[in-house]
Chains A and B, each alone.
Chain A
Amino acid sequence: MSTFLGWNGLRWLNALTAIMVLLVMVDAFIGHYRSGFAVRAQYTPFLSGGAILIAAVLAGIAPHEGWALQLLLVTGAGGVLTGIVGAGYHHYYGITSKPGGYGWLLHHLMHHAPPLAPFALSAVGALAVLVATGLRGSGAVLGVPLRTAALCVVAVTLAGAALQATLLHYRGAFNNPLMYAPLTTPVLSAAAVPWLILTRGRWALLSVTVLFEATFLIGFVGLGMHLRGFDRMMGGLRVALPNVLDGPAMTAPALFSGFAAAGLTALYLL
């Protein structure tokens, strides 16, 4: 297994897991604070995500300790489950229980609990499971080779994130052409990954690499644009709280960079 700056692919993936679970928790906190933590279950992502964060940090410090890896595996699986249950909650509270119900589906999808957001925690949890499995010496998860499994997680996550971002950018009437960005390389990367897995060709590898790199950059452009969007809200920083709550999701674009980086790691270090 190759290394980069002295760390192998699994340790890099572990570090990315730690960073991204933090981003996911920030995003969840903004959304859940906005709704006033009206449902107790809204605290769950912080319990689950916090556990993954702690486990990932421990696994980073002690990558050969069995108990740390066991912890990472369990918390990761917990994250996957929490995300799925969370999506159910988002569906119920964001759509089913809202006035108008399914008759107002598009409205609810745009304005209420983001339907796909909880799956971000599932995705990070899946990465954690993958890292724990690999560090424990196994080369496959559920019979799928680690590299392939990681690429699948990345591809599905990028596709889902692009869908969720497009929904919210539609709400913003694509008021800046860059708001179409999630529909470009993230979607193409997601589409190119199966091509690579099935053909293992050189062109496929090159394409996926370039697309991941572009997605990595686009995430940072997105971060910058979201900051600019925040500034374009009335009062900008002076009215920080409402603008954070109602403005563009601050950390969401970074997830594109994070998962693209995870994809690159899987490509070249696993």
Chain B
Amino acid sequence: MSGGEGDSFRPRYPGYDVLAKWSSPDWDDQTRDVVRRRIEEVPPIRFFTGDEAALLAAVAERIVPQPDRAAGARVPIVPFIDERLHEDRRQGYRYEGIPPQREAWRAGLAGIEATSRALHGRAFVALADAEQDEVLRRVERGDPPGDAWAGLDARRFFTSVLCETVVKTYYAHPLAWNETGYNGPSSPRGHVRKWIGGVDPWEAHERDARWGTG
């Protein structure tokens, strides 16, 4: 799933910064408030132990790698997951065979660590990238070695809990909006050029983008 990273994330929308629209009619007060908090008030770690947080950070870096960003400039993942678990903010359901989310995360992280030790004899954080990916793939396929996953459906945990949450956390950040060319907030201003190839003046433009035909 991973490969030569680094330069493969060359921006498709150079110069596009969704935050440059902060004062435009695309952003209303309540949206500015939630995005400002997301950027400025990264929550402290309160639920995970130090080891768990470090492990999850390493896992998150494999699920959504950010080698193109300096350590301090990365989209924070673990703090937001920690906050959700600290507040025990749930998503409205869980699959049978998965315990309530706090237990599920603890058990899942322990399972990844155990799988790492069973496969490579070392802690997950000490593995090389490819080895880490191998561990995660075994969990994803639902056949991790060892009995650490007895109370937890590994495949379901990986896909519907771990992977989904990490991915959703990453793509909720304005840095991710910039790289995908996502327009971001739009209220009250909406869109006019809705057709195929149409790009409004206030949307992300590519270097060689032309406005489409009406």
Contact = CB atoms under 8 A, between A and B. Distances in A.
A38 B196 CA distance: 12
Interface stretch (A75-83, A152-160, A237-245): A237-245
Given A93-B213, A235-B25, A34 B192 contact: yes
A36 interface: yes
A66 B73 CA distance: 72
A112 interface: yes
B211 A37 contact: yes
A70 to B, nearest CB: 36
Interface residues of A, number: 18
Contacts of A112: 214
Interface in A70-125: 93, 97, 112-113
B198 interface: yes
A60 to B, nearest CB: 35
A36 B211 contact: yes
B193 A36 contact: yes
Interface in B180-204: 188-193, 198-201
B213 A242 contact: no
Given A34-B193, A35-B193, A238-B25, A113 B214 contact: yes
A235 B211 contact: no
A34 B25 CA distance: 18
B213 A39 contact: yes
A256 B142 CA distance: 72
Given A235-B25, A238-B25, A245 B211 contact: no
Interface in B9-40: 25
Given A34-B214, A36-B214, A93-B214, A239 B192 contact: no
B192 A245 contact: yes
Interface residues of B, number: 16
A65 interface: no
Given A238-B188, A246-B192, A36 B25 contact: no
B97 interface: no
B210 interface: yes
A235 B25 CA distance: 9
Given A235-B25, A238-B25, A239-B25, A38 B211 contact: yes
Max chain B Cβ within 10 angstroms of own Cβ: one of A34, A97, A113: A34
Contacts of B210: 36, 38
B151 interface: no
B212 interface: yes
A220 to B, nearest CB: 28
Contacts of A113: 214
B189 A35 contact: no
B189 A38 contact: no
Contacts of B192: 34, 242, 245-246
Contacts of A37: 211
A242 B188 CA distance: 10
A38 B188 contact: no
A36 B212 contact: yes
A235 B212 CA distance: 26
Contacts of A242: 189-192, 200
Contacts of A246: 192
Nearest to B28: A235
A38 B212 contact: yes
A234 interface: yes
B113 to A, nearest CB: 52
Contacts of A241: 201
A37 B213 CA distance: 8
A246 B191 CA distance: 9
B188 A234 contact: yes
A241 B191 CA distance: 10
Nearest to B214: A35
Contacts of B213: 35-36, 38-39, 93, 97
Interface string B169-189: 000000000000000000011
A135 to B, nearest CB: 39
Contacts of B193: 34-36
Interface of A: 34-39, 93, 97, 112-113, 234-235, 238-239, 241-242, 245-246
6 contacts: A34-B193, A35-B211, A36-B198, A97-B213, A113-B214, A242-B189
Return the 6 tightest CB-CB contacts between A and B, nearest first: A35-B214, A36-B211, A38-B213, A235-B188, A239-B25, A245-B192
